[in-house]
Structure 1
């Protein structure tokens, strides 16, 4: 990781665009558990080898739209099934049906256990709000609105670019730059004057391809070198590391004559 002195001041940018799962909230862990539960059962039923591993999550699922992730992972095992339709039931042996099976597990855990933001991420959002820096969420998840609401931070973001919008507008999944570029357009900022924060390799690559001036990687398991290779300019373990670097405007009563 970089030294404290070398960490960037995110308030120096016109806006900061955050991924959600694994960056603002620990929902990535819920997603990981849901994917593992679903794919282990599927692989056993279909006699697919090699077995599902945690590495599969980072290589094929993390940061991508749900159905793109399913197709990518099945393709890695030389398995092809019809794409189907998002309305497919969970019993359908299609890409969409399989993705919908995973989402049932995710929604159950979210509803039963709730979710809270990472304390360090909340502290950074507070610091950026005090500095007057615009923020947005860029998530591949169709559950983003629900997760933000359950976490109690939905009102902090004027723009939430999520999987629902991506599907509606036919935007390509990360690592393509489409969702980050569209979020910047929605926020009316230039990517070249903005920062992006991601924990997924596909998300880092997406922001880098979108021409963002600064791409911050948050290492929640992908690995510092892998995030750097994907395009991150700086990598931190937790967003609390960036709080001290934020410049908060001095209030008039704090100045001295």
Structure 2
């Protein structure tokens, strides 16, 4: 592999439940109604996309801009103490960075990506960090992974992506990357997506360096 690009939420930071909690609270507070498919549908969406979803699909009586600001402000407040970094995540990134360039391709806004990098002390090792706010479409579209590969100056077909969710797996696969799946235990990916996209499935990030050796 010429590079490895990590997803953030659910891979390096245990934040998927927090995103879900905060969005549910905002929808309830502003007159909307949550649906069974909402959580999975929004995983991987960019900030403008999920903000519109809260308003248009779930009925929150806010503008999309207000919904985005309310949710991101609360997530930033929660990150202020310390992002919930997943055990072994920092060591895994450091181990991978010894062998090839490392990037992040995330649906989180830049402020939360920066917060993670600062707390984890990985700013010097993660050469590129791309938010889906910076590209045309969020996951499952391939845009955020393609942009990360472009900024790293590598061929996506010679790069690996580390992902946990259905939309993330499909995004990385659509970009042509070799996909390493670390299924999210709280919101597991669709079995068909896992079977269709993942070159290898690992239980946690401690297995990543050995898995990359096999690719």
Interval containing the TM-score (normalised by the shorter chain): 0.7 to 0.9
Q: Normalising by structure 2, what TM-score?
A: 0.85
Q: 1:103 to 1:195 in 2, by over 3 A?
A: same
Q: Normalising by structure 1, what TM-score?
A: 0.72
1:133-176 Cα deviation digits (max 9, x unpaired): 1110011211212222133322221111124533xxxx222111
Shift of 1:99: 1.6
1:35 maps to 2:23: yes
- Output the CA distance in 1 between the equivalents of 2:188 and 2:87: 20
1:208 maps to 2:173: yes
1:124 maps to 2:72: no
Q: Per the alignment, in what secondary structure is the counterpart of residue 33 of structure 1?
A: helix
| Count of residues in Structure 1 that have an aligned counterpart in Structure 2 | 209
Task: Please say which structure displays the higher CA radius of gyration.
Answer: 1
Please list every run of 5 or more consecutive structure 1 residues that lacks an aligned counterpart in the other structure: 1-12, 82-91, 248-257
Shift of 1:32: 2.2
RMSD: 2.4
Please list every run of 5 or more consecutive structure 2 residues that lacks an aligned counterpart in the other structure: none
Q: Which residue of 2 aligns with 1:217?
A: 181
- Output the CA distance in 2 between the equivalents of 1:216 and 1:245: 8
Q: 1:64 aligns with which of 37, 41, 45?
A: 45
Q: Per the alignment, in what secondary structure is the counterpart of residue 116 of structure 2?
A: helix
Is the Cα contact below 8 Å between 1:181 and 1:210 reproduced in 2?
yes
- Output the CA distance in 2 between the equivalents of 1:95 and 1:147: 25
- Output the CA distance in 1 between the equivalents of 2:162 and 2:180: 5
Q: Per the alignment, in what secondary structure is the counterpart of residue 162 of structure 2?
A: strand
Q: Which residue of 1 aligns with 2:131?
A: 162
Shift of 1:73: 4.8
Q: 1:206 to 1:246 in 2, by over 3 A?
A: closer
Q: Per the alignment, in what secondary structure is the counterpart of residue 22 of structure 1?
A: coil
Matches for 1:143-222 after TM superposition, within 5 Å = 143-166=112-135, 171-212=136-177, 214-220=178-184, 221-222=187-188
Q: Per the alignment, in what secondary structure is the counterpart of residue 99 of structure 1?
A: helix
1:138 maps to 2:102: no
Q: 1:96 aligns with which of 55, 59, 65?
A: 65
Q: Per the alignment, in what secondary structure is the counterpart of residue 88 of structure 2?
A: helix
1:14-72 Cα deviation digits (max 9, x unpaired): 11111111111213232222222212222xx2xx44x445x52122x211112201323
